[in-house]
Amino acid sequence: MTYTVVLTEDEDEPVFNATVPALPGCHTWGATEEEAYRNAQEAIQAYLEALAKEKAPVPREVGKREVEVAIP
């Protein structure tokens, strides 16, 4: 299975925050971009394992698109 991981730079600390939009509450971070992606992969795995344990449905991404907006 494949999930999108979105990285953002923290405003207060020199770290990268990783969010998985298709999995509510699935967030992590890393000191580098690569570490944040690795940590996100581990977080996704743990999230899916928890869903399996609860016999809950596994969310799937339906689509992804970047949208351009003007900065005011």
Q: pLDDT tens across 17-70, in order?
A: 999 999 999 999 999 999 999 999 999 999 999 999 999 999 999 988 889 999
Q: pTM higher than 0.75, yes or no?
A: yes
User: Which 3 state secondary structure label does DSSP give 7?
Assistant: strand
- Residue 6 has a CB neighbour count (10 Å cut-off) of 12
Name residue, tokens 């509450």. Answer: 25
Domain positions in the chain are 6-53
Question: What pLDDT, on the 0 to 100 scale, is given for residue 1?
Answer: 86
Strand 6-9 relative to strand 27-30, pairing: unpaired
Question: What pLDDT, on the 0 to 100 scale, is given for residue 3?
Answer: 96
d(CA 6, CA 16): 10
Closest C-alpha among 62, 63, 28 to residue 45: 28
